[in-house]
Structure 1
Amino acid sequence: MTLSPSQFTLHHAKEKDQKDVLSRFREEFYLKSDSIYMDGNSLGLLSKRAEHTLLQSLNDWKELGIDGWTEGKYPWFSLSEQLGEMMAPLVGAHHEEVIVTGSTTVNLHQLISTFYKPKTTRKKILADELTFPSDIYALQSQLRTHGYDPEVDLIRVKSRDGRFLHEDDVIEAMTDEVALIVLPTVLYRSGQILDMKRLTEEAHKRGILIGFDACHSIGAIPHSFTEWGVDFAYWCNYKHLNGGPGAVGGLYVNKKHFGTAPGLAGWFGSKKEKQFDMEHSLTQSETAGAYQIGTPHVLSLVPLLGALEMFAEAGIENIRTKSLSMTRYLMNGMEAELKEYGFTIGSPINDKQRGAHVSLEHKEAARICKALKEHGVIPDFRAPNIIRLAPVALYTSYEDVWKVVQLLKKIMSEKLYEKFSNEREVVA
């Protein structure tokens, strides 16, 4: 529904907040009274529960020393498996198919090393030109390791407009030369959701394994990886899951692949009861735990315990419903208040295709982001012309969204952005 300026009011925003079934979770986070945080798709905010579980684990270290591995409130030795079980509902998986380990790129290297089995006639990796660069670097590296040329053997599906991908184009590129496919669940710039179910079905029809980068979707949209037959996936936990900067990542391996030897083996991939036998032959775990490599970074794991408690209470379907409502409200507000100022909405208008952020395109995007920040709104900039705004279901209010639109209108009408250079900072 398109709103007119007379309908897009503070009163209307407050009415929506009063009806919000997730509003109580706002009090769980450390929010600053003088700012509005709209960058949860890059780094989620600290919650009181995440702080509590971190402090509890620090206390276990203080009181127990090395015995914290098997004692204390959250024994460290099985923490990755415990968190995998808590996280599994968010990706639609059996608990043994998910493990919290490594980082996004390390986990991608592990999964490519494990599942990329090139043959003379089927050796190419299929990706896309809009995916996050780190994934491309890893795929290029893996191809070189196998003696192949990334310029020839890495296929990047083209976007027709620089914003979105068409599944038909991806499917057309699934030729008999392709050995493996790696795609994002949600495009990090535009927020487009790919049809994972369809792409997985089409890949498997052609005998190709397929995996997904879920960094921009986990904790924001529901998934059904096991039901869809997805072969593997990986993600970070510091965006929508609010696990903290540098939080340990996660990976999913479909149970049909259990027993496949890890491409990059390490002692934390051992069967737990065998790990300390110190044998020189690996007895790998019979779960996704087999694809761990080294000792987990415990203090970057434990905040997730508190964070994931909230996701279990809130429910991913409720989170998705509110997230869609807020991004729709933001786009309606832009349409109502900012038509004349040269903005283009670079995210899908269709709810089914839109993730949890809205990308606004403007030729002065970097300057506008700096002006927003000066006035207490924390946005995200992506070169050359994208302002990403992410109203987060657990801690953003509709009133926040209304205020952001009003501030943008003030910045544009009074040209407050002109005092800044149109260049990004070191960290965008």
Structure 2
Amino acid sequence: MYKPTLDYAQQLDKEDNLAHLRAQFHIPKDAKGNDWLYFTGNSLGLQPKQTQQYIQQELDDWAKYGVEGHFEARNPWMPYHEFLTNSMANIVGAKPLEVVVMNTLTTNLHLLMVSFYQPTKTKYKIVIESDAFPSDRYAVQSQLKFHGFDTEEGLIEWKPREGEELLRIEDLEKIVDEQGDEIALLLIGGVNYYTGQYLDIKRIAEIGHAKNCMVGVDLAHGAGNISPELHDSGVDFAAWCTYKYLNSGPGSLAGLFVHEKHAHNKELPRFAGWWNHNKETRFNMRQPFDVMQGAEGWQLSNPPILSMAAIRASLDMFEEVGMEALRAKSEKLTGYFEYLINQIDTDRIKIITPSNPKERGCQLSIQVKNADKSLHKKLTENNIITDWREPDVIRCAPVPMYNSFEDVYRMVEILKTLL
């Protein structure tokens, strides 16, 4: 049973096998040199201290070798993306064949929809969750327009029931059961950015495939946070960014998953570029296009090495610790956070994120009655970094790699005084 005391929080930190990881990150500090209470790993993860060293290595090799760094660098640039594949596959529960790091999230979603959104006159609709992140909504609306369909008619929203904040899987089942003959694609956020709800993507894949719909997942708020087991889930494709829970730096490259069942299908429509051409003949410039197998077959261009170096710095940490240990701490850390929030004696706040640890990651979305952004501003003035989502939700994500139980305790104590 948890206890609402500082001594108890500090004791949990002493017992935490991952507590040493915090010292491996740069924690922002206030003007007096005190650590911020940083709870926005769901927006931008903190910088690992080893990131600078990893990037500096590539800068040094660029200075030393010039173009020859593609082959002569300590970590040759030509195959550099391959250095990330196994670690990234482990994080999302995929086979190395199914994963590649490339481009950015929405770009990847569009490239994947070139292949997996193949509408007909009668089967063309796309299902998203009603409160999907705006970029997903914009992406699927533009795909509908591109193919000549009306966005109002072609977009189906999976909505919470009246008076509820969370999605029910049986409501999606009803939508697909009734309209599946007209639905070409389900594109669902694996972890909803607003509520923090972790959806059952394996069940979603089963529901979609039962009606011959393609199923894709946006894991922007999932990768490095939950264990989606993408291969076993059976989803056709997925994409995610790396700058949130994967700590790779602002605007860094994204990840892409294509299920093994599609890996060898060279007839899938796709856009082509130099980097998804067979690597054995890539530099014979006059060969006809020969697409690579697996997720690498969706690449277009040679990757930015400095961004990949930052990703590699973070992935090496994940590889050392493992998602199982991170998830175990995350459930305990977020559970303690939830307990402390529920101890606050007020009817002004409630947590809209599921209370079942298996149905959420580390984010808790706190709804504050009769609040506006001024509460978020006051938290910031007290060196607590959260983020605000209209109309009345504060999103807080205690990240197991660098947040402590004491962080959580101190944040809730300050929130009490502000309320």
Shorter-chain TM-score above 0.5: yes
1:339 Cα offset (Å): 2.6
1:163 Cα offset (Å): 2.4
**Any idea what the Cα deviations from partners look like across 1:46-71, whole Å, max 9, x if unmatched?**
00122221111111112111112222
> Is the contact made by 1:70 and 1:77 (CA closer than 8 Å) also made in structure 2?
yes
| Cα distance in 2 for residues equivalent to 1:137 and 1:162 | 25
1:263 Cα offset (Å): 2.3
| Cα distance in 2 for residues equivalent to 1:402 and 1:263 | 50
| Cα distance in 2 for residues equivalent to 1:75 and 1:370 | 46
**Any idea what the Cα deviations from partners look like across 1:342-382, whole Å, max 9, x if unmatched?**
11111111111112211111132411111111111111111
Match of 1:423 in 2: none
Percentage identity across aligned positions?
39
Match of 1:95 in 2: 96
Match of 1:426 in 2: none
- State the TM-score, normalizing by the size of structure 2: 0.94
| Cα distance in 2 for residues equivalent to 1:367 and 1:264 | 46
1:120 Cα offset (Å): 2.4
Give the one of 361, 364, 368 matched to 2:367.
Answer: 361
- Give yes or no for the alignment of 1:334 onto 2:341: yes
Match of 2:310 in 1: 303
| Cα distance in 2 for residues equivalent to 1:341 and 1:274 | 66
| Cα distance in 1 for residues equivalent to 2:352 and 2:76 | 45
| Cα distance in 1 for residues equivalent to 2:79 and 2:181 | 42
- Give yes or no for the alignment of 1:255 onto 2:260: yes
Match of 2:409 in 1: 402
Match of 1:221 in 2: 226
Q: Where does the alignment leave 5 or more consecutive residues of structure 2 unmatched?
A: none
| Cα distance in 2 for residues equivalent to 1:94 and 1:54 | 27
Match of 2:74 in 1: 73
Match of 2:295 in 1: 288
| Cα distance in 2 for residues equivalent to 1:228 and 1:392 | 25
Aligned-residue CA RMSD in angstroms? 1.4
> Comparing 108-117 with 48-57, which one deviates more in the overlay?
48-57
State the AA in 2 paired with 1:348: P
| Cα distance in 1 for residues equivalent to 2:194 and 2:72 | 43
Match of 1:136 in 2: 137
| Cα distance in 1 for residues equivalent to 2:69 and 2:345 | 58
State the AA in 2 paired with 1:213: D
1:262 Cα offset (Å): 4.9
1:279 Cα offset (Å): 3.0
Give the one of 289, 292, 312 matched to 2:319.
Answer: 312
Within 5 A, what are the aligned runs for 1:33-72?
33-72=34-73
- Give yes or no for the alignment of 1:157 onto 2:195: no
1:162 Cα offset (Å): 5.8
Give the one of 7, 20, 27 matched to 1:24.
Answer: 20
Match of 1:168 in 2: 170
- SS of the residue corresponding to residue 402 of structure 2 reads coil
1:231 Cα offset (Å): 0.7
> Is the contact made by 1:127 and 1:155 (CA closer than 8 Å) also made in structure 2?
yes
- SS of the residue corresponding to residue 234 of structure 1 reads strand
Give the one of 322, 336, 353 matched to 1:347.
Answer: 353
**Any idea what the Cα deviations from partners look like across 1:264-311, whole Å, max 9, x if unmatched?**
222111121222222363211112111012231222111111101111
> Is the contact made by 2:262 and 2:294 (CA closer than 8 Å) also made in structure 1?
no
> Comparing 173-182 with 396-405, which one deviates more in the overlay?
173-182
* Structure 1 pair 262–87 and aligned structure 2 pair: CA distance change class (3 A): farther
Match of 1:189 in 2: 194
1:86 Cα offset (Å): 1.7
> Is the contact made by 2:126 and 2:155 (CA closer than 8 Å) also made in structure 1?
yes
> Is the contact made by 1:128 and 1:183 (CA closer than 8 Å) also made in structure 2?
yes
> Is the contact made by 2:351 and 2:366 (CA closer than 8 Å) also made in structure 1?
yes
| Cα distance in 1 for residues equivalent to 2:144 and 2:288 | 28
Match of 2:5 in 1: 9
1:213 Cα offset (Å): 0.3
| Cα distance in 1 for residues equivalent to 2:175 and 2:112 | 21
> Is the contact made by 1:185 and 1:213 (CA closer than 8 Å) also made in structure 2?
yes
| Cα distance in 2 for residues equivalent to 1:341 and 1:410 | 15
> Comparing 153-162 with 170-179, which one deviates more in the overlay?
153-162
Match of 2:250 in 1: 245
> Is the contact made by 2:224 and 2:323 (CA closer than 8 Å) also made in structure 1?
yes
| Cα distance in 1 for residues equivalent to 2:308 and 2:253 | 6
1:333 Cα offset (Å): 0.6
> Is the contact made by 1:131 and 1:187 (CA closer than 8 Å) also made in structure 2?
yes
> Is the contact made by 1:262 and 1:291 (CA closer than 8 Å) also made in structure 2?
no
Corresponding residue pairs, total: 407
* Structure 1 pair 18–365 and aligned structure 2 pair: CA distance change class (3 A): farther
> Is the contact made by 1:130 and 1:159 (CA closer than 8 Å) also made in structure 2?
no
State the AA in 2 paired with 1:295: N
> Is the contact made by 1:81 and 1:289 (CA closer than 8 Å) also made in structure 2?
no
**Any idea what the Cα deviations from partners look like across 1:21-50, whole Å, max 9, x if unmatched?**
111111110113331111011000000122
Match of 1:207 in 2: 212
State the AA in 1 paired with 2:15: K
| Cα distance in 1 for residues equivalent to 2:53 and 2:172 | 44
1:113 Cα offset (Å): 0.8
State the AA in 2 paired with 1:30: H
| Cα distance in 2 for residues equivalent to 1:96 and 1:108 | 18
1:129 Cα offset (Å): 0.8
> Comparing 11-20 with 338-347, which one deviates more in the overlay?
338-347
Match of 1:148 in 2: 149
| Cα distance in 2 for residues equivalent to 1:296 and 1:339 | 52
Match of 1:390 in 2: 397
Q: Where does the alignment leave 5 or more consecutive residues of structure 1 unmatched?
A: 413-428
